């Protein structure tokens, strides 16, 4: 499955500051806030600073995407990391949406289980309350000129859904890897240059389990081959992308592998800087990495500590009953 991000081009040649809002509905049936059912509406309010910087270049807002839905096991604390990138290398911080214009019917804390935390480093800590619960998550991503700044330059939003599942009978989820391994690595690419990306999914469960798909959330002009089994435990797809002039700037691609029991892998993401005249350098950074919440090198039982938190978090592998209802709302 491949989900392509849509885009709308607006001429803001004479504007230095823009406010964009997208409000509509409805969300799928949700478990929180209590009684919301199918009546949930969404709203995304973005403020974008396009003023000239000291570098004599216009400011650019951060970029963020998220594959949706995400499956988590019931009753076990989980981390979900929101991939972000800022081409100006500004400091990027995350917070929960908190106004009607930012989140409409799904504003935290009422829209999420008690104890859910959004850390400034764009790490979400959440524990699912009941099997089959569905939650909508509304997150604000802001860029700041430096670590001491209190007023953001730009504000963008990402909204996605989480489904609570029973634990899988197999204790291991698939591992998805690709060409980049560093959490702050991006790739510079020139318009018109073809670029290939091989994504490899590894299965650690019994041989009766296979990798049935590597789902992609991508930008336009990217193609994906059918999934191929390389060995008894490895499957792969090949992505090919030739960036166009309309894609100049920051781009993020994310993927998740799904096995035959509908268990999701880690979310694997790559970031790119696209330029017209030459291969650009990468001033921005991407969070997270190839793997969330920690780097998986084997199928061993792993714990990780979230930044700014002393709570150890078990990396769990979940069973999903279905892989449907895609809601990818990001600007």
List Cβ neighbours of 148 (8 Å cut-off, separation of 6 or more): none
pLDDT of residue 54: 84
Cα–Cα distance measured from residue 83 to residue 284, given in angstroms and rounded to the nearest whole number:
12
pTM score, two decimals? 0.79
Q: What is the bridge-based pairing of β-strands 234-241 and 228-229?
A: antiparallel
Strands 154-165 and 70-73: parallel
Q: How far apart are CA 105 and CA 112, in angstroms?
A: 12
pLDDT of res. 309? 32
Please give the C-alpha separations between residue 294 and each of 69, 100, 116, 144, 316, in angstroms, as whole numbers: 20, 34, 19, 26, 11
Per-residue model confidence (pLDDT) at position 143? 95
Count of domains forming the chain? 1
Domain membership of residue 51 as a residue range = 2-330
Q: How many CB atoms lie within 10 A of CB 1?
A: 12
Q: What does the angle CA 318 – CA 212 – CA 79 come to, to the nearest 5 degrees?
A: 30
Binned average pLDDT, 10 residues per bin, the chain of 331 residues: 64 77 92 92 91 84 92 91 90 96 96 97 96 97 94 95 90 91 76 96 92 92 95 97 91 92 89 88 54 36 29 32 33 37
> Quick check: 219 and 211 in contact, CB under 8 A?
no
């Amino acid at each position: 499955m491949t989900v392509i991000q849509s885009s709308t081009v607006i001429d803001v040649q004479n504007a230095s500051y823009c406010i964009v809002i997208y409000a509509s509905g409805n969300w799928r049936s949700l478990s929180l806030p209590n009684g919301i059912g199918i009546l949930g509406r969404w709203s995304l309010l973005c403020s974008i600073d396009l003023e000239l910087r000291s570098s004599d270049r216009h400011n650019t807002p951060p970029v963020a995407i998220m594959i949706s839905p995400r499956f988590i096991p019931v009753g076990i604390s989980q981390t979900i990391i929101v991939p972000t990138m800022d081409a100006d290398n500004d400091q990027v911080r995350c917070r929960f949406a908190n106004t009607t214009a930012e989140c409409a019917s799904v504003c935290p804390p009422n829209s999420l289980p008690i104890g859910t935390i959004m850390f400034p480093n764009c790490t979400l800590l959440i524990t699912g309350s009941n099997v089959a619960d569905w939650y909508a998550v509304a997150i604000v991503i802001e860029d700041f000129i430096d670590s001491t700044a209190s007023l953001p330059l730009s504000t963008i939003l990402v909204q996605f859904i989480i489904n609570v599942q029973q634990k899988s009978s197999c204790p291991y989820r698939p591992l998805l890897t690709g060409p980049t391994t560093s959490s702050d690595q991006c790739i510079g690419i020139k318009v018109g240059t073809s670029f290939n990306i091989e994504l490899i999914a590894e299965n650690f469960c019994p041989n009766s389990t296979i990798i049935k798909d590597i789902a992609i959330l991508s930008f336009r002009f990217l193609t994906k081959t059918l999934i191929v089994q390389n060995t008894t435990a490895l499957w792969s797809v090949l992505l090919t992308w030739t960036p166009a002039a309309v894609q100049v700037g920051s781009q993020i691609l994310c993927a998740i592998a799904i096995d035959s029991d509908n268990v999701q892998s880690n979310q694997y993401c790559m970031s790119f800087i696209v330029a017209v005249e030459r291969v650009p350098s990468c001033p921005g950074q991407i969070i997270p990495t190839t793997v969330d919440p920690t780097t998986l090198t084997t199928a061993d039982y792993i714990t990780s500590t979230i930044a700014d938190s002393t709570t150890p978090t078990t990396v769990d592998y979940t069973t999903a009953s279905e892989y449907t209802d895609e809601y990818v709302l990001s600007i």
